Amino acid sequence: MKGLFLAFRRFEDGLTAVAAAAVFFVMSLGVAEIAGRSVFNAPIQGHTDLVIVAMPVIVFLGISQCLRKDSHIQMSLIIDMLPYRAAAAVKSIGCLISSVTILCISIGAYRNFERALTFNDNTADLRLITWPFKLIVAGSLLLLAIRFAVFAIGYTREAFAMKTEADGNLLPEAHDELDLETVRDD
């Protein structure tokens, strides 16, 4: 099981590296567009189309790793006031609801991909096909739903004090770094 979690983690890290490369590409493209427009009076043809197809790569490929590293914005004012096990139970329910919601959104994104593939959807200027990028959205959301489901299992195990050595893989990485002395116990 540990090997599966490690492979999943490496896959997420690889997707995040691709997203980072896409950010670098869009930034370089923007600089080239401004330089071309200002210095040579020749804008890059289809600049907007290239940015449009790069956006799903930038936004969605790193989202699962962001959740794993617990580096997203959270509003946990009320949860922080709860005893440790009760907070874990609430987080478990929240992760389960999030997993189901994201799974439903992923199914809708997959249907959008199927429509784009069926109708040969493409961008306005360069006529770039859009279905691969719509598939990236559906796949990334599916990974996010899986990550939420794994966290729901981990928090449930925390709430019912069923911890094992492998549970570190079932919770966000920042969760392990908490100072447990500041957390109130039941």
List, for residues 92-107, the tens digit of each pLDDT value: 999 999 999 999 999 9
Q: CA 132 to CA 9: how far, in whole Å? A: 23
Q: What is the model's pLDDT at position 77?
A: 85
Q: What is the model's pLDDT at position 164?
A: 65
Q: Is the pLDDT of residue 179 over 50?
A: no
Q: What is the model's pLDDT at position 80?
A: 87
As beta bridge partners, residue 122 has 129
- What is the maximum alpha-carbon separation in the chain? 69
H helices present in 2-125, as ranges: 2-38, 47-60, 63-68, 77-81, 84-118
In percent, the amount of the chain with pLDDT more than 70 equals: 90
pTM: predicted TM-score of the whole model, two decimal places? 0.87
Q: Is the pLDDT of residue 184 over 90?
A: no
Mean pLDDT score of the chain, rounded to an integer?
89
Burial of residue 3 (number of CB atoms within 10 Å: 0-12, 13-18, 19+): exposed
Q: Is the pLDDT of residue 10 over 50?
A: yes
User: What's phi and psi for 122, nearest 5 deg?
Assistant: -145, 170
Task: Please write the tens of the pLDDT for every residue from 62-103.
Answer: 999 999 888 877 778 888 899 999 999 999 999 999 999 999
Q: Could you tell me the pLDDT band of residue 175, with boundaries at 50, 70 and 90?
A: low
Q: What is the model's pLDDT at position 167?
A: 57
